Amino acid sequence: MKNSPLILAAALSLGLAGLAAAQNTPLIITHDEGTAQIEAEPQRLLVMDEEALGWLYALNLGDRVVGLGSSYIAPDMLEGGNVRADVTDRGFFSHGRLNDVTYVGSWEAPNLETITALDPDLVVRLTWDGNENYDKLSAVAPTLGYKEGGPNFWRKAVTDLGEIFGRQERAEQIIALPDNVNRYNRNALDVAGVLDRFPKVVVVAPFPGGSNWVYTSTRLIEDLRALGFEDGISLDDVTLGVGAQVSEEALLGLGDDTLVVVFPPGGEYDGSDEFLSSAVGQRLKDQLVVYKPEEFSPYSGPLTQARNSNLVTKAILDTF
């Protein structure tokens, strides 16, 4: 028996209604600070730091960002409350599309009045033990927080965002990018004999005033491990899961087979010149390479880590 047009129309109508109902079902995302319910695809995004911005850049969502939190933005970089266009054309910011983005304060001290006025429909941030304001941000819009140093934290963030925006395939591809780049660069270092000369590595972050940190997780060190280096120093206690301050004696005790990568923090926190002229810097100068991240750069994420791998490999090969 042939189906009548009325029966076919009714079946099609029911099918479309079921599809619409599935698409309108709220999406529940579990993250490091709780859970968030996403009712519809967000259009107005607020990022509380450059790390979160990098996750959105990786999914080609920078043009939906209406608010940016940063501790790198100075007052002279603003115009009418927005980050000036010539600033968003610089450094890391230039790798995506930011359109008249509003500055919403620093990572630790967001301007909640400005955030509320922006009326975002999703907030994304990097977080850590002791970070505050999650409840206040969640009262404005669904908020996702991913803990730096946590297992696969940025991979989880990119995966979740890919699901929210229907860009799962893009998320899978971009998550694999750093590993692919590291494999290529490891071979280049191996062929050049760098890994024979320096089987070990230490990442030193010098701050003004002579304070030196060594990173043990997340901040460049994981990519250097993927490039074939082993840890050149062992730390008993770490802060926020990423590293700890070390003494000059510990650095002076490094063997000649340990590559020292000087990886200073950005902006006013960069103490690399002071470190290089110090007794420690002079003692290590023949086994040392300086790698300065680009302006406004986050420490991790797929785009940043792929770029870091390429540029730190080039710096090592050019030096040794």
Secondary structure string (H, E, C) spanning the chain: CCCCHHHHHHHHHHHHHHHHHHHCCCEEEEECCEEEEECCCCCCEEECCHHHHHHHHHCCCHHHEEEECCCCCCHHHEECCEECHHHHCCHHHHHCCCCCCEECECCCCECHHHHHHHCCCEEEEEECCCCCCHHHHHHHCCEEEEECCCCCHHHHHHHHHHHHCCCHHHHHHHHHHHHHHHHHHHHHHHHCCHHHHCCEEEEEEECCCCCEEEECCCCCHHHHHHCCCEECCCCCCCECCCEEEECHHHHHCCCCCEEEEECCCCHHHCCHHHHHHCHHHHHCHHHEEECCCCCCCCCCCHHHHHHHHHHHHHHHHHHC
Looking at 165, 190, 225, which one is the last position of a domain?
165
Examine residue 68 and state whether it is found in any structural domain, yes or no. yes
Same domain assignment for residues 198 and 118: no
Chain centroid to CA 279 = 33
pLDDT at position 115: 98
The confidence score (pLDDT) of residue 240 equals: 78
Task: Note whether residue 183 is domain-resident.
Answer: yes
Are the C-beta atoms of residues 146 and 153 closer than 8 Å to each other? yes
Provide the pLDDT confidence category of residue 313 given band limits of 50, 70 and 90: very high
Please state, in angstroms and rounded to a whole number, the distance separating the CA atoms of residues 238 and 215: 9
pLDDT grade for 13, boundaries at 50, 70 and 90 = very low
The 10 Å Cβ neighbour count of residue 320 is 15
Distance CA 44, CA 116 (A): 12
Range of the domain at 303: 178-319
Domain count for the chain: 2
190 and 129 part of one domain = no
Q: Are residues 127 and 219 in the same domain?
A: no
The pLDDT value given to residue 82: 97
Give residue-wise pLDDT tens across range 273-304.
Answer: 999 999 999 999 999 999 999 999 999 999 99
Question: Could you read off the pLDDT of 197-220 as tens digits, one per residue?
Answer: 999 999 999 999 999 999 998 899
Asked if the model's pLDDT at residue 11 lies above 50, the reply is: no
* pLDDT mean over 177-198: 98
Q: Which residues contact 58 (CB under 8 A, 6 or more apart)?
A: 158, 170, 171, 174, 301, 302, 303
Q: Which of 134, 165, 196 is the C-terminal boundary of a domain?
A: 165
pLDDT confidence tier of residue 8, bands split at 50, 70 and 90 = very low
Of 79, 106, 131, the C-alpha closest to 268 is 106
Query: Are 207 and 87 in a shared domain?
Result: no
**147 and 200 inside one domain:** no
Say yes or no to pLDDT of 24 above 80. Answer: no
Question: What pLDDT sits at residue 16?
Answer: 42
208 and 129 fall within a common domain: no
How high is the pLDDT of residue 48? 97
pLDDT (average), residues 83-89: 97
Three state DSSP letters for 15-32: HHHHHHHHHCCCEEEEEC
10 belongs to a structural domain: no
Q: What is the mean pLDDT of the chain?
A: 92
What is the pLDDT, as a whole number, of residue 238? 85
The predicted pLDDT at position 2 comes to 47
The string of pLDDT tens digits covering residues 100-133 is 999 999 988 899 999 999 999 999 999 998 899 9
Predicted pLDDT of residue 15: 46
pLDDT band for position 312 (cuts 50, 70, 90): very high
The predicted structure's pLDDT at residue 55: 98
Residue bearing the bigger pLDDT, 130 or 12: 130
Does the pLDDT of residue 91 top 60, yes or no? yes
Q: Same domain, yes or no, for 92 and 54?
A: yes
CATH code, domain carrying 228: 3.40.50.1980
Q: Per-residue pLDDT for 10 more than 50? A: no
Residue 302: CB partners within 8 Å, gap ≥ 6? 54, 58, 154, 158, 174, 175, 177, 178
Residues 121 and 238 both lie in one domain: no
Task: Give 17's pLDDT tier (boundaries 50, 70, 90).
Answer: very low
On whether both 194 and 136 belong to a single domain, the answer is no
